[in-house]
Structure 1
Amino acid sequence: MWAALQACFRFQEGKPKEDAKKFAMLTLGTTFRNFRHTLHKDYAKKGLSPKIKFGKIPDAMWEEFKLMKEMAEAKALSEKRTEKAQKAAENPHHLGAGGYDGKIPHWRREEEERRKASGKYWCLARRPRYREGKVVFENPTTAEIYERLAHVVDAEKQGLFHPDREKDQLTTAIGTAEHSGRVRGV
């Protein structure tokens, strides 16, 4: 195409032909893409033959063009399905390469720390004092609950105590249910 264009145009002396060639090739590429789009939209998709308007297209080339466009459409459909599947997974996990197996021990440690923290915070809210390396409370019943809590924690470590939702370390140490009865008013 460039050779045919050079035969049709005369270039000024001293002007670089490379700029003209670059512009011509860009224009030719755009025009060719538009032509292929028109062939696909107006003829291939509708099952018509372009022989009426574009008689110079050989039959073998037309069949190859239709086949390439069908493959391109199939690829686009496949990509659309992949995108749809990815969108369907709106709640992906963020577990990394180890998956659940790598996170379960970590989660168990965190859960144990939270269980321990409920008793720890209860004790801290009662203003513990530290004398000679021991925890001392002003109220003697708080000291008794603290001691029972320490025993419950030790029993859990030994596997003798298994905390449950309503019967965790703190409620066992205190000796009362967390929510007894029902609430009649707020």
Structure 2
Amino acid sequence: MAESDTWTRTCTIFDVPLSKKTQVITIANKIWTNFKSKLTSLYVYKKPLKKRKRRSDADPLKKYEYITPEVWKRFKAMRMTKEFQASSELAAERQKKNKYPHRMSRGGYRKVRLKLEKKSLEAKKSGKSAPKIRRGDLWIEGRVNKNRECLNSETDAAIERINLVNEQVAKGEFLPSGKVDVLTKALGTDEHYGRVRGVWGSSGA
């Protein structure tokens, strides 16, 4: 889907200022990519979802009525090429090397921030103190479930380091400066060019 088409279609439905064009296109691209990945996993490769043991044998054309038979035929053919499968396997290998897998849904860090902001507002209404939401807080919330459990021991250890550095900040033993903040110090690695951890991709950070 071309970026111009994405923006034009969005503007026909919603009243969006031009200043939000990049943000809208970024979000739309992420949703579009995730949707294609879902179609590929469930209906092309027929892999079971993590939340259920059985695979999906449903007809995607019945579930998504806007997908025509011809479009679905071309999509399946493209997904079954050697080039695409090689690219998919490479991406899977990169994901396996991810030391700190997140638990976030399609909403990503934006949804996590909204959740924390809601808690902060509720705390203020009840007369409790509500500390500022930090990048490390978002990073942690994106990797724990409702029982505060992580997917692996590496993430548990990273969260402990983040909490330790936060204590150092409170005691005046560490002063965050520029790109070297609590999260960067705790993880011990610099940010990748063009990416910022613990921040919503279109937040402008």
Instruction: Give the TM-score normalised by the residue count of structure 2.
Output: 0.29
Q: TM-score, normalised by structure 1?
A: 0.31
Larger radius of gyration: 1
